[in-house]
Amino acid sequence: MKPLPPVAAQRTEPPTTRASKTTPGVVKARPEATASAARTSQKSTSSVAKTKTKAKPGVAKAKAKTKPTSERYIVKKGDSLSAIASRNRSSVSAIQKANGISGTLIHPGDKLVIPKR
């Protein structure tokens, strides 16, 4: 059997390099490949740094329940300020101040703010 002829030296370039046009035989890194590699490494590190803990859907944060300081009431036929005040554990003067009323005259359909004691 005959020995194989020597293979001519062929230049194989890695995918991230290319030969320079100005200097034959010198291989330089492609700027596009270097920049994209840098962007990829920045994305992977920044996504880890920006990860936030999110609340589970459907689970609300526990809030301290506070009692309302006032209620709304619509005056009905036959209501008086004193009756409304006693039913809602308030006073006539507090209802008058909250609604800007100087007397005790109210009408059915009036909307009153009833402050709590």
CB 73 within 8 A of CB 88: yes
CA distance 53 to 61: 14
CB 117 within 8 A of CB 89: yes
Maximum average pLDDT range among 29-33, 63-67, 88-92: 88-92
CATH class of the structural domain 70-115: alpha beta
* pLDDT one-digit tens code per residue, 17-41: 555 555 566 565 555 555 555 555 5
| 108 pLDDT more than 70 | yes
Q: Mean pLDDT throughout 66-84?
A: 90
| Amino acid letter, 73 | Y
Mean pLDDT rounded to a whole number for the chain? 74
CA distance 49 to 29: 29
Q: Mean pLDDT throughout 91-102?
A: 95
Question: pTM of the predicted model, to two decimals?
Answer: 0.44
CB 101 within 8 A of CB 110: no
